[in-house]
Amino acid sequence: MNMNDTYMPTIIGFLCNWCSYTGADLAGTARMKIPASLRVVRVMCSGRIDPLFVLKGFLKGADGIMMMGCHPGDCHYQKGNYNARRRFVMLQNIFESLGLEKERIGLWWVSASEAPKYAQVTKEFAEKVKELGPNPLREEIFL
């Protein structure tokens, strides 16, 4: 597996519009450095993050997938993030039973003011994924 320094993982981040996306915007406004490998997909609520998106994204070669929503109790639609949490737990189980690396997916609560947290978790996650190396499925699919 290619683990050298030039390897740049591809990470997809699903961000809810009201908290996490706003927090990410703020990180930009504050000129915080965010890994270039992260691609953000905006959804209205973390409850819209269909487990299929995560699975498909992974099967199509994403090296890591981040789910982000408002803190519990703060969801703009009241309970969407609880759905996200349940689905995340389910996804972890699916990953485990299929023998996939469940460290490649994660869920975080990031509020509209938590730009530093956004910068920190994206950086840490990108480093971790880099350590894990490329998604093994990627080669299968692209070869």
Partner 1 sequence: MNGQIGVYICECGPNIKDRIDIDKVIEDISSLGDVKTVKRFPLLCSNDGKKFLEEEIKKEDLSHLVVAACSPREHEKTFMDVCEQADFNPYLFQLINIREHCAWMISDKNEATAKAIKYIRAGIRRVALHRPLEKKEIESIPDVLVIGGGVSGLEASLSLAGKDRRVYLVEKTGSLGGMAKKLSQLLPNQGSNLSLIDEKVEQVHNNENILVSTSSTVGDVRGFLGNFEIVIHTDGETSGFRKAQVGAIVVATGFDVFDPEENSQYGYGIDNVFTAQEFEEQIKSGNVLLKSGKPPESVAIIHCVGRKERGYCSKVCCCYSIKFAHYLKDNLSNVNVSELYVDLCLPHKSDQEYFEEAKKKGVHFVRSEEEINVNQKGDQIEVEYHSEGKTDSIVVDMVVLAPAMIPSGDTPELAHLLNIPLDKSGFFKEIHEVLDPISTPIEGIYIAGCATGPKNIPESIVQSQAASGKILSSLIPGEKIVPEVKVSEIREEFCTGCQTCLSVCFYGAIRFDSFKGISVVNEAICRGCGSCVGSCPSGAIRSKHFTYPQLYREILEALR
Smallest separation (angstroms) from ligand FES to the CB of 47:
6
CA 138/CA 40 separation, integer angstroms: 20
| Interaction between residue 77 and ligand FES (CB under 6 A) | yes
Q: Does 15 bind ligand FES (CB under 6 A)?
A: no
Instruction: Pick from 9, 12, 107, 126 the residue near partner 1 by CB under 8 A.
Output: 12
What does 92 bind: partner 1, ligand FES, none (CB cut-off 5 to 8 Å by kind)? none
Q: Does 70 bind ligand FES (CB under 6 A)?
A: yes
Q: Which two tokens stand for residue 72?
A: 């519990």
Inter-CA distances, 5 with 10, 129, 130, 131, Å: 14, 13, 9, 10
Grouping H, G, I as helix, E, B as strand and the rest as coil, residue 26 is helix
